[in-house]
Structure 1
Amino acid sequence: MDARSLSRLPILLTLFMGSIAITQQPAHARGIQTIDRIVAVVNESVITRHELDEMLKVAVRQIQKQGMQMPAYPELEKQILERLIVNRIQLQLAKETGLTVSDAELDQTVRRIAQENKMSLQEFYNALAQDGISFKKFRDEIRDEITLVRLKEREVNNRINVTESEVDNFLHTQANTSADDLEYRIAHILVDVPEQADAATIEVMRRRAEEALALLREGTEFAQVASEFSDADDAAQGGLLDWRPASQLTQRFAEYVTPMEPGHISPIIQSPNGFHILKLVDRRNQGEAVTMVEQTHARHILVKISELISESDARRRIADLKERLEHGARFEELAKLHSEDGSASSGGDLGWLSPGDTVPEFEHAMNALADGEISAPVQSPFGWHLIQVIERRSQDVTKERRRQTARQAIRARKADTAFQDWLQRLRDQAYVEYRLEEG
């Protein structure tokens, strides 16, 4: 999830659903009072039965809302617990490396969520209370979601490099591909194979994938099979992915999906992550992109957060630089001396920026500035910024946008693979003890 989708956090999917009776579940899943206990140990932290039950309630409501058949409870419970474990490991890393979300940022995000749900803050608080969600719990959930997004940006996305030659090759390939004007909606099932699994384990996972494929060929609904067999995070939602062009699919997936007709299901596809089954739900022509955009010429100073520089240290440094600017220091000179961005050598000059070229936090702050104005300190996944707008213009960016779209597609493809690899390494390095079967 990126910062643009904060208003669509999973917890909001159940905001107005009211109390839903959960049938055919064990007592603790139906909300009957039980003594809390530990279901997993994650490094020096624990996950409790109560935490697991709360997440299970959200997952069950999502499944019911979508009209899907409920998966076997033990399988759903296992999937949700694994998601909690992986999230906990990431949040622990964020805390250890000083990655935090300030109360001011949290307040701003909550206000934006309320506005996008067409409510005042008080109406939003009341709606949460009516659904049995405390405001503190809601804020904690939002804080964790923002933290996970920023951690992914810092540890994975910001380290992805795309060269101009890669963009040239991408555009050349697209020019010779008749399918480049199409977008695809696919659903997928992933049977995960642990890293360094032996041949016997791989064979067991292959047979599990074959069992899923056999059910699909017998006519079982894809969403039902996905919720029961898939190890992917979106299993409970039937494995359905957003619309995307073939360029944003892995090359292996694109080879199968592009010649398929809507409704068709692929054979089993093996990848380093495990065994996949794909269904082409639909395809459509991409809309024409707007070519005239309002551009902003801006410069900035960046102080990054790292293992050596905590979030509070970075914020203090950027505040000191802001004070120096207010006392007459030249922006370009401070950028050359103190900015940790690649633009430092040119006085922080970022050139002409189109909408979407920067992360939302940076863009929102930049758009609020008048020409020549310098922002207050702004936090983004990259660190803390000071931004100055130089001038604005309306520009035809057809060629540039085509290259930017190609660059984003390449980056998304690389980042997806890199994130899964990083997450697996993080998971392998953690101490995890399962206690789900105890008691």
Structure 2
Amino acid sequence: MLAAFFAAALPAAQAADVKMVDGIAAVANNDVITYRDLNQAVARARQSLPKGSNVSDAELRRQVLGQLINQSLVVQAGQRNNVGATDAEIDEALAHNAQSNKTTVAALYAQAAKQGISRNALRRNIAQSIISQKVQQQAVMQHARVSDEEVDAFINRAAQQGVTLPEGEPVRQYRARHILLRADSDNAAAAAESSIRKIYSQARSGTDFATLAREYSQDGSAAAGGDLGWFADGQMVPQFEDAVHRLRPGQVSAPVRSQFGWHVIKLEEVRDAGTPEERQRNAVRQYLAEQKAQQASTDLLRQLHESAFIDIRTPS
């Protein structure tokens, strides 16, 4: 993400273009998207297009402006719900991008400065991306769980319609519960870590995990005792999956930090989808989860647009 961000330098504005560069391209509630923002984003998008793409400049600008408005609305929704990005998360994102691009964080800052982007502005942009990702992932996690009954219904409908479903690949699946304490600022992260360690001690001492989840968890799964249902690798954030992999059924993890906050995880069961029926059910489960995730993202944006004030402007 940052590689493309830095690579797209905003061309030096000619005197006649100053008004367009510094003017307002759109307003989303209380947030202003300037032509400078739009021009930089269009340049990044143009660089990422496949060779031979025939997307017109006007269409690309329309698409990119829509994406900027969507991100603004999602970030605003996150801020209203106290979703933030800590300095540690921003530092981690910078380090990850530096490593991916075989450079250093200092070099990233220097490259941004050449584009007229200050250190604070760069960190602010990264924070907004992190917040946007958190909000969308929270929406997906709350609505993309697939029950056994939904898998059964899908398979039955396919049979009634004479549709042959693919078998799918052998895969290991996990069923776990978790307790989540959100940590969307450095102060909140410290408080959440202290609280989650006390909850972890209670879980280790034999207090029923589901009861603790109902009482303390700030995730949508709290009402179900923290039950996340069955999932396979690639469906949870890496820190969560790594912790699950180190557990045996019945064990409780030490506190784990992810972009959502602090987790304590209890692994309930592990199974290998090895028979043809199991592989088929897993393939259906993954398909339904992907469909629900897409719908959750669509619904989130629709709801945000319905309640938003949006004013799209054109250059004079």
Q: TM-score range by the shorter chain?
A: 0.7 to 0.9
Q: Please, what TM-score do these two structures have when normalized by structure 2?
A: 0.73
Alignment pair present for 1:146 and 2:130: yes
Match of 2:41 among 51, 55, 58: 55
Higher helix share: 2
Match of 1:413 among 281, 285, 291: 291
Match of 2:169 among 284, 289, 294: 289
Provide the rounded CA distance (Å) in 1 between the counterparts of 2:33 and 2:105.
Answer: 32
- Equivalent residues in 2 for 1:28-427 (5 A)? 30-33=11-14, 34-35=18-19, 36-63=22-49, 66-71=51-56, 73-117=57-101, 119=102, 121-122=104-105, 125=108, 128=111, 132=115, 136-160=120-144, 162-173=146-157, 176-178=162-164, 180-181=165-166, 289-291=169-171, 293=172, 300-303=178-181, 316-317=191-192, 319-323=194-198, 325=200, 330=205, 332-333=207-208, 336-337=211-212, 338-340=215-217, 354-367=232-245, 374-381=253-260, 384-387=262-265, 396-399=272-275, 400-427=278-305
What is the CA RMSD across the aligned residues, in angstroms?
A: 4.3
Deviation readout 1:161-192 (Å, 9 max, x if unpaired): 544332113234556435x45xxxxxxxxxxx
Provide the rounded CA distance (Å) in 2 between the counterparts of 1:403 and 1:387.
Answer: 25
Query: Any idea what SS the aligned residue of 1:430 has?
Result: coil
Residue 42 of structure 1, CA deviation: 1.8
Deviation readout 1:349-379 (Å, 9 max, x if unpaired): 7788642353334113444679967433523
Unaligned runs of 5+ in 2: none
Alignment pair present for 1:12 and 2:11: no
Q: With CA pairs under 8 Å and 6+ residues apart, which has the higher RCO, 1 or 2?
A: 2
Deviation readout 1:44-77 (Å, 9 max, x if unpaired): 22111211111121122223x5232350x33333
Identify if the C-alpha distance between structure 1 residues 327 and 166 changes in structure 2 by more than 3 Å, giving closer, same or farther.
closer
Provide the rounded CA distance (Å) in 1 between the counterparts of 2:228 and 2:100.
Answer: 31
**Bigger Rg, structure 1 or 2:** 1
Query: Any idea what SS the aligned residue of 2:314 has?
Result: coil
Provide the rounded CA distance (Å) in 2 between the counterparts of 1:56 and 1:357.
Answer: 31
Opposite residue 166 of structure 1, the aligned amino acid is: E
Identify if the C-alpha distance between structure 1 residues 304 and 105 changes in structure 2 by more than 3 Å, giving closer, same or farther.
closer
Residue 136 of structure 1, CA deviation: 4.9
Task: Tell me what 1:258 maps to.
Answer: none
Identify if the C-alpha distance between structure 1 residues 66 and 136 changes in structure 2 by more than 3 Å, giving closer, same or farther.
farther
Preserved contact between residue 297 and residue 353 of structure 1 (Cα < 8 Å): yes
Preserved contact between residue 99 and residue 151 of structure 1 (Cα < 8 Å): yes
Query: Any idea what SS the aligned residue of 1:69 has?
Result: coil
Q: Give the fraction of aligned pairs with identical amino acids, expressed as a percent.
A: 28
